[in-house]
Structure 1
């Protein structure tokens, strides 16, 4: 029993590292903002209700399908811009569910990254690698990490220092 609870706690902490918050917090925020059930949210994301439940409860850690993660991010970003009028919720959910996932090359890192589908509402700037680093750690910790890596990995240290010095968008 204690092991199950410690596994759940560890899984939620891993979710915080991966997604910025435990999925339970993100899912509850979305269901409240949109006035939908967890089952309706699961259908929109393209997950089974059972899988979403396991992610929310911390029995599972990762969202395995990039399209599902993309849809979750798109809904989260839309809800962060302000309330969605109740009459607009069905169309928003349908739009997000039908959105196609696109891949593009990230200019800064040279690796592939997910581009989230466009959701109706004002455009926001595309997050950068600097934004992602600042979302994981405050500037002072980024500077400390840069100092620790400077000798062995100077190029990574420079990225960390740059992220620490840039203002939050």
Structure 2
């Protein structure tokens, strides 16, 4: 730690920071976002501004990601849309009618958060009970988690303790 920051966060030059950010992008996405985005732009025959609209991010944010000024896409919905476009690149390359490409982009832009959450295994937990936590953790683990969260999140800690008592 240097001045409260991880040592790898403090980089001597802007170029070194961009290189580090691109390495982190490679770890997250498999390639730097500049490679991924430029491939999508070429295969779909669209501008970066059009891609940003499809993803639901600002053109400035997408530009920062491509330049390596930022590491990752914070919005899971935008990230999911980008990955779907990546998966459909072969289909887009085969199309000759720009209207068909426009249909793909419109379909992807219409994807909603509930669609993404359902595919990530996240669901509405309004019917969940504290006892349902016993399916994913032991009583001891739930009690330990409650102790760890007690000061910062007392309501969550209380729920975990309640669940621990039912396992």
Partner in structure 1 of residue 131 of structure 2: none
Partner in structure 2 of residue 121 of structure 1: none
Residues 126-165 of structure 1 aligned to structure 2 (within 5 Å): none
- Report how many aligned residue pairs link the two structures: 109
Give the TM-score, by structure 1 length: 0.59
**Structure 2: segments with no counterpart, 5+ residues:** 1-10, 124-167
- 2:39 corresponds to 1:26: no
Partner in structure 2 of residue 17 of structure 1: 27
Residues 57-96 of structure 1 aligned to structure 2 (within 5 Å): 57-81=67-91, 83-87=93-97, 88-96=100-108
More helix by share: 2
Out of 30, 39, 42, which is 2:49 matched to? 39
Q: Please list the CA deviations of residues 110-141 of structure 1 after superposition, one character each: whole Å capped at 9, or x if unmatched.
A: x759xxxxxxxxxxxxxxxxxxxxxxxxxxxx
Give the TM-score, by structure 2 length: 0.60
If you compute each CA radius of gyration, which structure gives the higher value, 1 or 2?
Answer: 2
Q: Please list the CA deviations of residues 64-100 of structure 1 after superposition, one character each: whole Å capped at 9, or x if unmatched.
A: 0000000000000001456241421111111100112
- 2:110 corresponds to 1:98: yes
CA RMSD of aligned residues (A): 2.2
Matches of 1:74 and 1:81 in 2, distance apart?
11
**Structure 1: segments with no counterpart, 5+ residues:** 114-169
Matches of 2:40 and 2:33 in 1, distance apart?
10
Partner in structure 2 of residue 118 of structure 1: none
